[in-house]
Amino acid sequence: MIRDLSTVEELELALALSRYALHLCAASERLTTDQIASLMETHGKQLRAAFIAKHGYPPEDSTTPYVPVTIDGPQDHDAYYAKEYP
């Protein structure tokens, strides 16, 4: 099953990881590059687990639906692709 990951949810994940990266960079005098990478990976896994707990499915099962847009404006996805063109 494909679910819609809204832009807000996507931005929330990116913002949380960016905040943590900024926090680590501020403390970079005490951390090696390998330590920062390890901490970022761990935090990313925690964000993923929190996403699954909140939404009930992993983020990779989400997608932003593609809406075809023509000169007539946005089109219904299924109707647009059901048309046969010569």
Query: What are the extents of the domains in the chain?
Result: 3-82
Contacts of 15 (CB under 8 A, 6+ apart): none
Q: What is the mean pLDDT of residues 48-62?
A: 82
pLDDT tens across 16-45, in order?
A: 888 888 888 887 678 888 888 898 889 888
Helical packing angle, 7-26 and 33-55, nearest 10°:
150
Task: Note whether 59 and 36 are within 8 A (CB).
Answer: no
pLDDT of amino acid 2:
44
Using the predicted structure, report yes or no on whether residue 3 has a pLDDT greater than 60.
no
Task: Note whether 5 and 59 are within 8 A (CB).
Answer: yes
pLDDT of amino acid 77:
66
pLDDT of amino acid 1:
43
Using the predicted structure, report yes or no on whether residue 85 has a pLDDT greater than 80.
no
In this prediction the pTM is: 0.55
Task: Note whether 63 and 1 are within 8 A (CB).
Answer: no
